[in-house]
């Protein structure tokens, strides 16, 4: 699906584009998106898990009407999984067929074997070679902190010049560079050389007002009063010394869980029964026995603005 050639002409337009894809972005984040699009620079998003980094890339692709190509990073990720590899099985079959027919010709056969027909394109190469019509895809390099440092080093050429080098074919450069979004949960520090090639933005937990607006979009069936209680409760948990504070994704999951249980308000038993949708570590859950939730809920509800 195509969009107009330049739908993001201002920071406000970037906010509106994301909002149409149900992503509520505060102004600083919308500014980072606007500048990344205008400058043609990768956008590096860092923050706690569940704050909406991956969702931003999805919303950007949806808002622009572009294909989303996602590379999920993990320990041991290498070039053959992320960029390209040769189809060795097809190459061996071609060699046997050439030998059987008496057509094996040394250099000519080698040239044929390392052509496009035998090249398996992985996400990064697909993103660089896509968009012959000019509508470059959104390339999401997700959770780069999970990958190893050698892979980070390989990415430098991609992030700076939007190209990769394949020894058998030479350097392949994107005719229309993709829109690149890199995310990190900061389980380890990503090298400065990667960040220097990107525009950087720290994605923080949302304010109560923005989180309430997110729930209005992502859990529209929830009553306004319930949504306010949920947001107030989650915000209170984030102020505590938890092993893992709940992210926006957990807020949405919890609200949807409450809706399935026909909850109209938060009560100690319902919160205790469903807290596993919000907190994901036993040590955190153990801090909130059902009998201890009454006082906490009363305090939370008393602080909700009228």
* Model pLDDT, residue 6: 67
* Model pLDDT, residue 32: 97
* Model pLDDT, residue 1: 37
* Alpha carbons 35 and 277: distance in angstroms, whole number: 36
Residue 115 Cα distances to 44, 91, 224, angstroms: 34, 10, 59
What are the residue boundaries of the structural domains of the chain, listed by start? 11-75+127-202, 84-116, 208-302
* Model pLDDT, residue 193: 96
* Model pLDDT, residue 7: 77
Average pLDDT per 10 consecutive residues for the chain, totaling 306 residues: 63 96 96 96 96 97 95 95 86 73 57 75 92 80 96 95 90 93 96 96 96 96 96 96 95 97 95 95 93 92 86
The architecture (CATH level 2) of 11-75+127-202 comes to 3-Layer(aba) Sandwich (3.40)
Residue 287: burial class (beta carbons within 10 Å; 0-12, 13-18, 19+): middle
Q: Is-above-0.85 flag for pTM?
A: yes
* Model pLDDT, residue 2: 40
């Amino acid at each position: 699906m195509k969009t107009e050639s330049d739908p993001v002409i201002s920071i406000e337009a970037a906010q509106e584009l994301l909002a149409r894809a149900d992503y509520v972005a505060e102004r600083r984040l919308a500014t980072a998106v606007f500048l990344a699009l205008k400058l043609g620079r990768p956008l590096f998003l860092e923050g706690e898990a569940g704050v909406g980094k991956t969702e931003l890339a999805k919303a950007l692709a949806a808002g622009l009407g572009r294909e989303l190509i996602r590379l999920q990073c993990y320990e041991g990720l290498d070039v053959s999984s992320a960029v390209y590899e040769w189809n060795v099985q097809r190459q061996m079959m071609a060699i046997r067929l050439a030998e059987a027919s008496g057509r094996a010709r040394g250099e000519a056969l080698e040239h044929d074997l390392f052509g496009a027909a035998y090249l398996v394109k992985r996400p990064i190469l697909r993103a660089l070679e896509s968009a012959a019509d000019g509508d470059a895809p959104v390339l999401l390099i997700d959770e780069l902190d999970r990958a190893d440092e050698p892979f980070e080093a390989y990415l430098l050429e991609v992030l700076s010049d939007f190209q990769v080098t394949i020894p058998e074919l030479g350097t392949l450069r994107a005719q229309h560079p993709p829109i690149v979004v890199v995310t990190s949960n900061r389980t380890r520090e990503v090298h400065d050389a990667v960040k220097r090639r990107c525009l950087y933005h720290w994605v923080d937990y949302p304010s109560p007002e923005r989180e309430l607006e997110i729930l209005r979009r992502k859990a529209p069936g929830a009553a306004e009063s319930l949504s306010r209680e949920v947001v107030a409760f989650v915000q209170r948990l984030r102020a505590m010394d938890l092993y893992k504070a709940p992210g926006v994704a957990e807020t949405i999951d919890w609200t949807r869980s409450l809706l399935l249980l026909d909850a109209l308000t938060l009560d100690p038993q319902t919160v205790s029964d469903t807290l596993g949708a919000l907190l994901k570590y036993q040590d955190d859950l153990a801090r909130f026995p059902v009998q201890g939730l009454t006082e906490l809920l009363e305090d939370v509800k008393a602080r909700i603005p009228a």
